[in-house]
Amino acid sequence: MTKPRVFVTRMIPKKGLDLIRDSCDADIWREELPPSREALIEHLRGAEGLLCLLTDRVDGEVMDAAGGRLRVISNHAVGFDNVDVTAATQRGIPVATRPVS
Integer-rounded Cα radius of gyration of the chain: 12
Give the pTM: 0.93
DSSP state of 98: -
Q: How confident is the model at residue 94 (pLDDT cuts 50, 70, 90)?
A: very high
Query: Which domains, ranges and CATH numbers included, belong to the chain?
Result: 5-97 (3.40.50.720)
pLDDT, tens digit (0-9, with 9 covering 90-100), for 30-81: 999 999 999 999 999 999 999 999 999 999 999 999 999 999 999 998 888 9
What pLDDT digit, counting tens, does each position of 1-18 carry? 799 999 999 999 999 999
Q: Which of 20, 27, 31 shows the shortest CA–CA distance to 55?
A: 31
